[in-house]
Structure 1
Amino acid sequence: MGNMEMVVKSSTLSVDDAVTVLLRDSAADDYSVSLRKQFPQLRVLCAKDAGSLHRHVAKADVLLAPDFPVEFFDKTRRLRWFQCTNAGVDSILPIRDRMNDLIITNVRGIHGELIADFVIGGMSMLHWDFPRFMREQSRKEWHGRSVAPLAELTLGVVGLGSIGAAIARRGKSAGMTVIGSKRDVTEPIPGVDRVFPPNGLAELLELSDFVVLAVPHVPETERLIGREQLRLMRRTAFLINVARGAVVAESELIEALQAGIIAGALLDVFEREPLSVDSPLWTMPNLIMTPHVAGWSNDYNARVFDIFSDNLRRFLENKPLRNVVDVKRGY
């Protein structure tokens, strides 16, 4: 169901004031102004805190939010559609067996190229050891060193959805050998030299100089990379996580970085965010870390609204919605 669309049942539709859209997002005020202009027949409510969410959620037919408020699920008596403002919808996992006919859509497709920029830039920084250059610069030290071209190295992408496929294309454009893994291996992926099924992860890890995690957070990917998997990687290899923090066993990665089991890592996501100030990750010399920004474009809200407004029009006209999530699979 990666590219599936779903028709909203006619029983869920109404084009009068009874159709209520509830916005729970940092850009809710801006979205609200635009929605009222485009859809004057709708009632638009904003939930800026838990109290207002509690008051309004029972009235909502449509919810726009970065995650699903599972604690209020039993109050969502009218809710028919949840538009997530992220690509990952792991917030629904605790209640996905109870969601019945609730439609979930996400904003996949808006992150891929920016995250690919982030990954290729991070790969170059890790490969050249830019953190060391910057430490040497701060000490006014001049130490030259040489590296192999990226084109002689292998990029392994774990998860070849829209984001992973964009990363793979960027790696291929740099001349790299690109391998990857995905659930469905029946169709080739442009720019990927070899595609492994999920049970081929061990071989992918052994072959890769850079391992990029771009999988959704579902039960099957929880702590996908831990001590055993890190030991399969080359000592000269780097791990890059742009998926979710829960995909990596963080304490075991810390051990591997400290022991030199792998050369280093680039982390944009963590088990707990913001990262605790006492985490050893902050000061590790072979780690580059960023505050969950890899997919955060400067026009992110506009991109989200384009998808949401298009879907809202489809919802009202009883047409297929874009980016419908397979709730059973979680993506």
Structure 2
Amino acid sequence: MELVVVGAEGASVVESIDALPDVGFVWCDCVYSDGPVWTAPVQRLTGIHVLDEHLRDAENVAHPSSFDSTNDYEIIVFRGLALRVEALDASDVIHVKTRPVVFFLFPRVLVTVRAPDSRLMASTRTRLMSAAGRARLPTQPEELMLRILNAMVDRYLELRQPLSAQLDRWQRQLLDTRRPFNDWYSLLEARREVRRLEDLCEEQLDALQEWRDERLEHSDGGGLSEVLLVRTSDIVEHIHRVRGHAQRLESSLENAVQLHFSATAYRTNEIVRALTAITAVFMPLTLITGIFGMNFEYIPWLHSRAGFWWTMGAMLALGVLMLLFLRAREVLSASALLGNRSARRRRRRKDASSVYD
């Protein structure tokens, strides 16, 4: 647990404090393992007793984003990312790992309960005590909380690029005609993570909007200033952007799956059409060979020296006529006759010649 006094002259870390400063507020930064040790100095400063239910919520690492309040204080649970966005690999399934940061808002006191390895709180504390930070110090606990929340949401915005890269990889694999796609488990897992991100945004929006509405309803005593309202609206708008991006990713992923099945059905249909055409071509040829295979004593041309060649010529001509007939009726396409790659090369040569003409 660290106590930071934020005043008009700057911010400083103190070992203990018995009374609130004349100007400014106190920030009590704790980790999960500290437990309820922060309640004693907070009660000494504010005279407020924290409910046991809220203390249990602060120690619950699986608690969703939420908001609750009493007549004396407010509690906001906000889940932030627990991974390094810059270290993500788009070739693997990106798991959206989160952990809660709990904010207790008292009159002129802010308590944060977070993970011990959180770099955000350390950087915020360093910034407050730096020379640049003194130029724009927060004047109340709500402002500091909104700054921290804004930094947490910005990390979600950074997650958009690796998620988009992952979607591009799935789309290429789904629409690749040379390699059949069979990694459906990873695809469903990626889709589940995108939905989880969307659900996280919904919870965060509910928590922030409930806190803002609560403050606006009690604007006579502890309402929000115009600056804090603008900052809160910015955070809400950023969460909407993350949620909108997650929804677009899910929609694009579903469209890619539908395109995959459509392409597979089209290829299957082309194969069936080609096999049907081949059957139609060879059916009369099979009939001719079957006729000459009958065990009759006398069959015309059976003993003729040129009968074999006449029969082969007739069969060849009949096969060519059947191919031309099927091609004219568009039963056989160029891709079925020449192959997909040959047909594509033929179309490219045709397009190139039309351009030069």
TM-score scaled by length of structure 1: 0.21
Larger radius of gyration: 2
- In proportion to residue count, which structure has more helix? 2
Between the two structures, name the one with larger relative contact order (CA 8 Å, sep ≥ 6): 1
